[in-house]
Amino acid sequence: MLREVTERPAEGSTAANANTELAEFLRTRRARIKPTDVGLAAGARRRTPGLRREEVARLADVGASWYTWLEQGRPIHASAPLLERIASALRLTPTERAHLFELAQGRPPTRHQGAPATVSPALQHVLDAHPFPAFALTFRWDIVAWNRSAARLYGDFSRRPAKERNSLWSAFLNPQMRALIPGWEVHARGMVARFRVEAGRAADRRDFDELVADLSRASPEFRAFWNDHDVFELVEGLKVIAHPEFGTIEFDHVGLTYAEPDGRALRVTLYAPRPGASTTRARALFRVRA
């Protein structure tokens, strides 16, 4: 066991934030599992929601004190086999398992390094040539480029302060944006869960933590969703827009990773209306010829 878990010195605020995030993530995942889900008796005197720490430790075949250290946010380095056992004991989804490894071992991809504030002329040309909404975003979801259709749907981003050109910020604090999304709460919860995955992968998450802190102060809804510690990954999906003039439009959308010529990375998101009424309405909204 000593070869699998060792204590390591703190490495600054980013490491400390990751340790705290890991501790809270483990506690929330443990709390959602019923003892009967893993073959344990519920017990009449049980006070802890979900499993106890020692029960998780026993299921994962790790010492209870070591597991307690992880949940206390102490600077612990855990081996891959140990993390696999914890993931199995807590019944984590594939996305949650990846999130656990990224928090515990600090193995982020390099794609968050040096996100550009502008895009190359070639990328802007491609965005402009797309007839339906298209964006380029940093992995913190700051919108750095868009086309005319995106501006027509969501408003002129260039007129907004830089802070408000963030997709997560707009989703919670822009009333016009919220009004376009039917079933806003489900949509917003999904956004927060996806953003947590992005933050967990960041090589330096200080900018992510700053945005989370600002949103937590400004939006009680965001603060509540963030404290649930849900994680979810999605690179394509369905976006439903309830447009006040043109009605409901369903868009398929995909997110593609794009490397600028200097190596810095962005995510390019493209919308395409679904066949039928959505395509007819989208062509009318964006003035696209058949």
The full DSSP string for the chain is -TTTEEE----SHHHHHHHHHHHHHHHHHHHT--GGGGT----TT--SSS--HHHHHHHHTS-HHHHHHHHTT--EEE-HHHHHHHHHHTT--HHHHHHHHHHHH----GGGTT--SS--HHHHHHHHH-SS-EEEE-TT-BEEEE-HHHHHHH--GGGS-GGG-BHHHHHHH-HHHHHH-TTHHHHHHHHHHHHHHHHHH-SS-HHHHHHHHHHHHH-HHHHHHHTTT-----SEEEEEEEETTTEEEEEEEEEEEEE-TTS-EEEEEEEEEPTTHHHHHHHHHHT---
Alpha carbons 42 and 227: distance in angstroms, whole number: 26
41-72 residue pLDDT tens: 766 576 777 899 999 999 999 999 999 999 99
Residue 256 falls in which region: left (phi positive, over 0), alpha (psi -120 to 50) or beta: beta
pLDDT at 2 (0 to 100): 40
183-231 residue pLDDT tens: 999 999 999 999 999 998 887 788 999 999 999 999 999 999 999 999 9
Is pLDDT above 70 for 11?
Answer: no
101-145 residue pLDDT tens: 888 887 643 344 455 677 889 999 999 999 999 999 999 999 999
pTM of the model: 0.78
Domains within the chain, CATH numbers bracketed: 5-107 (1.10.260.40), 121-286 (3.30.450.180)
Q: Which stretch of 34-48, 85-99, 123-137, 227-241 has the lowest confidence by average pLDDT?
A: 34-48
Antiparallel, parallel or unpaired: β 265-273 and 134-137: antiparallel
Antiparallel, parallel or unpaired: β 5-7 and 143-146: unpaired
Alpha carbons 18 and 199: distance in angstroms, whole number: 10
- Give the mean pLDDT of 16-44: 85
